[in-house]
Structure 1
Amino acid sequence: MPDKDCLPAALYRADQVREMDRQAIEEYGIPGDTLMERAGQAAFDLLRRRWPRAKRILVLAGTGNNGGDGFVVARLALQAGLHVRVLQLGDRERIRGDARTNAMRYAALSGDWQPCGDDLPRDADLIVDAVLGTGLERRVEGRWARILGHVNAARIPVLSLDVPSGLHSDTGVILGTAVCADVTISFIALKQGMFTADGPDCCGDIHFHALDVPARVYARQLLSARRLDWSRQRELLRPRKRTAHKGDFGHVLAVAGDLGFGGAARLCAEAALRTGAGLVSLATRREHLPAILAGRPEIMAHAVEEVSALEPLLARAGVIAIGPGLGRHEWGMALWEKVMAQELPMVVDADALNLLSEAPGRREDWVLTPHPGEAARLLGCTTRDIHADRYGAARELQQRYGGVVVLKGAGSIIAGDAHQPPAVCSDGNPGMASGGMGDVVTGIIAAWLAQGWPAREAAQLGVCLHAAAADKAARAGERGLLASDLMSHIRRLANPGND
């Protein structure tokens, strides 16, 4: 797996990358053929590093520039003494420009270049996916879809060039059918869709090569999104002063846990403590107190059966975390209405988001943390609509409800005000798809707010810390990963200098 420190933070849309390519060629005098040669060489070098024993290379080539990159890889592999076969998707007579130049160079070496049939050979050690590039805007259907499906079914490692064929570069959505690569090498700039929705599944391990495009080309484009990971976020942390006391690190009040949901309340409160909040109070149902206090006595758990019991807790709190296990019945609704009347920063999750969707409001001092289902209710659409454009959904949520929005899922997106690009977290793993994970991240973000971080930064720190802790915990296996498994990792990672 590549070191994420080597990947740029800046992400772009496909049209921006095409403009960078044009500027490099027309304004800075770099021939398109040179850029294509650099891309193919970078891909071939990666191929040799990642699969040093691969001898039989199958290149699937389209008719555009992505196919041209594939022909460079095929030529270099042939010159290195490997057995190479190119299967052409689309009419080879439609290949133009630099792509045709490189196709002819490969053909001049008597390279094996045949039309792609309905089946793929099974004797390849590696498939190079050079079929469809970043310009894809319509669904892959018919014969092309069947071929891409055969790639996924072949159980042969796949290297995709620039983006996996069939993946939308901007949204990360599969357009009908897409290649699920083991490795993707992206050129000139990273595309924002590679890190969210279906992007992580399709791209596999992501590598990057800028093709030596001048820095001034990038300076003329505003990035469309930023990639976040814990390796960068942890650099923001500083050791605590030796004279610090608990009052320096804020007081979080978690309002959570209707009858039968005490676990959600404890997870949220404990995560806030493990992230460094000075004090954490918990307003929950009376029946949950014995188990919570026996398991984590540092949580100041209070029985709140009536709204009036919440008032003294609100008077002492600096930040509110509301929603985990709150329910949508009379108890939860009453507490939600009371909290909404306060002028305290808050993190809003789970059932509190569902209650918000029923009576929408807007604030600038909250962080909303919906998963796709909650986001769909907040926007009055379907989860399919959310998945179709996660960046767009996060922006619309922020514009409608204010504050900062964390749209959870594969590639969680953090959207603040419209003047800053959204951010996407590239850490995390499928083991996080289990109950209680959202309760934990709510507590983490609330703790960063309590420690004085502005809402956007607190959300970014929280999402990345949560994902990094889950990655540490998943070393023992993704299946069976529990939200409570993250706690010790949260504590370790939240302290500077710890990996």
Structure 2
Amino acid sequence: MTATKLYTAEQVRALDAAFIQSGTPAQQLMKRAGRAAFDALLARWSEPEEITVYCGSGNNAGDGFVVAALAAARRIPVNVVLVGEVEKLSAEARAAYDFARQEGVVMMPPGPAPSAGVIVDGLLGTGISGEVRPEYRQVIEQINASALPVVALDLPSGLNADTGAECGLAVRAALTVSFIGLKQGLVTGRAPALTGELLFADLSVPAEIYKSLTATAERPEFADLLAALPSREADAHKGSFGHVMVIGGDTGRGGAAIMAAEAAARTGAGLVSLATRPEHVGAALARRPEIMSCGVISGQELEPWLARPSVLVVGPGLGESPWSEQMLQQALATDLPLVLDADALNLIAAGRLWREGARRDNWILTPHPGEAARLLASTTAGVQQDRYAAVRSIQQRYGGAVILKGAGSLVASADAPVQVITAGNPGMASGGMGDVLSGILGALLAQGAPLAQAAALGASLHAHAADLVAAERGQRSLLATDLLDYLGELLGD
């Protein structure tokens, strides 16, 4: 089973049940999980001074008991902090508890935090949905305050396995080992800040078990996405690769539109033009003379220019002035494929240029959580509470393809699993990143990439370029325009 498939907690429980019904005892499966986690721990920390395993009352507590037993068998000092009640353990977890006791593992109630070694988190499993209960919250606070490295069993306790939201408080792990099926909540939202290194162990579940379920989401491979971009014929000319027009750059916001246009050029569009406020044309020509820049002061002036491009990118630096509305109105009146970002999305959400219930199948919308909240008449916190539901809702309401930006960007299109882009880094939290993404997306559409594939490839290309920059220069000083020089390296010939 490829780890690119992502599942809900309910689906993973179904996989687990199907595997057990096929003849593998649940106790054996628990031992495999504990062994996988223990091996991963030793691969990262080969000689831990001691191991402290925190266990609740669920089945991942059973995995924790197995880890403790294996550590004791290796003569590694180990203790179990038992937060849950033994009487509430399942039969399999109780057997693992007895196994650990037989190996001489000491069971103790919560007390002072350990001061050395490695912590193993077996407190809470995939079933949590509401707030972490006070007795567990207190222990999680203690674990996080210890500053010791933590190995999370299946997922960090307090993290929602389906949404990636933090249920009030969650364990901050250095390493997470996920079992049987990789949970979709481990790769987006708060999860990237909590999981640390993410490993997957299928516990030898056979491939035919996985075929019984359709994954709700996927982590696409960059090479597979790149294959969606048509190759270039030897006799190609600039007209073969489309014409992207970027529309944006209201007064004082010209840089955003210029960055988007340059990104489109660097991503391989045959022609790139820029429609912006007249005062920004000089800066655009000085920055990148290959871009055909025109100054327009009204929608009426823009209209003749719209006969030339094959794709429109609208929103970078657009603003929300009467000029902005005229620019977007003219773009929406065309049948051209669109990429909408920033204030173009805010104007759509405001309802002045787009009627409720209308849909369009040839555009890519690229909201960050705040813009997504406006599109859904919700809140940013509401969007982040369930990013999967939010991106699907936007796609169903507005059509086309939608990229919900953020850590673990989500890409939704009609009748397909959500694509999760796990590349990228915190250095991308700086101005202009979304403008560069918009230009990339426009260029991919202009070159003939299908809408859904262009959205996923563009988001992945953008994130991988940022990772290359960060690897060379660090994250803290990363600028949006730094990505431009790395796009060609990633795109190849």
Q: Name whichever of 308-317 and 33-42 sits farther off.
A: 308-317
Matches within 5 A, 1:143-162: 143-162=135-154
Distance 2:329 2:470 in 1: 38
Write the letter of the residue equivalent to 2:145: A
1:22 aligns with 2:22: no
Q: Name whichever of 231-240 and 46-55 sits farther off.
A: 231-240
Structure 2's unaligned 5+ residue stretches are: none
1:277 aligns with 2:273: no
| Residue equivalent to 2:403 | 406
Aligned 8 A contact 1:320 1:446 in 2: yes
1:494 aligns with 2:491: yes
Distance 1:68 1:142 in 2: 22
Cα drift, residue 241 of structure 1: 2.4
Cα drift, residue 169 of structure 1: 0.3
| Residue equivalent to 1:121 | 114
Cα drift, residue 480 of structure 1: 2.0
| Residue equivalent to 1:290 | 282
Matches within 5 A, 1:11-410: 11-26=6-21, 28-117=22-111, 119-123=112-116, 125-237=117-229, 239-359=231-351, 360=354, 361-410=358-407
Percent identity between the two aligned chains: 48
Aligned 8 A contact 2:230 2:448 in 1: no
Write the letter of the residue equivalent to 2:321: H
Write the letter of the residue equivalent to 1:78: A
Distance 1:185 1:238 in 2: 38
1:463 aligns with 2:459: yes
Aligned 8 A contact 1:7 1:207 in 2: no
Runs of 4+ in 1 over 6 A off after TM superposition: none
Cα drift, residue 311 of structure 1: 2.3
| Residue equivalent to 2:419 | 423
Distance 2:90 2:251 in 1: 67
Distance 1:40 1:236 in 2: 40
Calculate the TM-score normalised by the size of structure 1: 0.95
Write the letter of the residue equivalent to 2:54: L
The SS at the match of 2:364 is strand
Structure 1's unaligned 5+ residue stretches are: 1-5
Distance 1:341 1:480 in 2: 40
Aligned 8 A contact 1:253 1:313 in 2: no
Q: Name whichever of 150-159 and 314-323 sits farther off.
A: 150-159
Cα drift, residue 312 of structure 1: 2.9
Distance 2:181 2:247 in 1: 43
Distance 1:104 1:266 in 2: 66
Cα drift, residue 490 of structure 1: 1.3
| Residue equivalent to 1:3 | none
Distance 1:90 1:235 in 2: 50
The SS at the match of 2:98 is helix
Aligned 8 A contact 1:141 1:177 in 2: no
Distance 1:236 1:159 in 2: 38
**Residue 166 and residue 428 in structure 1: after superposition, are their counterparts in 2 closer, same or farther (change >3 A)?**
same
Aligned 8 A contact 1:54 1:126 in 2: yes
Distance 1:175 1:18 in 2: 20
The SS at the match of 2:460 is helix
Report the number of matched residues.
Answer: 487
Distance 1:237 1:462 in 2: 11
**Residue 437 and residue 278 in structure 1: after superposition, are their counterparts in 2 closer, same or farther (change >3 A)?**
same
Distance 1:108 1:415 in 2: 50
1:134-192, CA deviations, whole angstroms, 9 ceiling, x for partnerless residues? 11122103121011011111111111010110000000101111001111010001000
Write the letter of the residue equivalent to 2:89: I
Distance 1:235 1:208 in 2: 26
Aligned 8 A contact 1:229 1:425 in 2: no
CA RMSD of aligned residues (A): 1.4
| Residue equivalent to 2:477 | 480
Aligned 8 A contact 2:225 2:453 in 1: no
Distance 2:430 2:34 in 1: 41
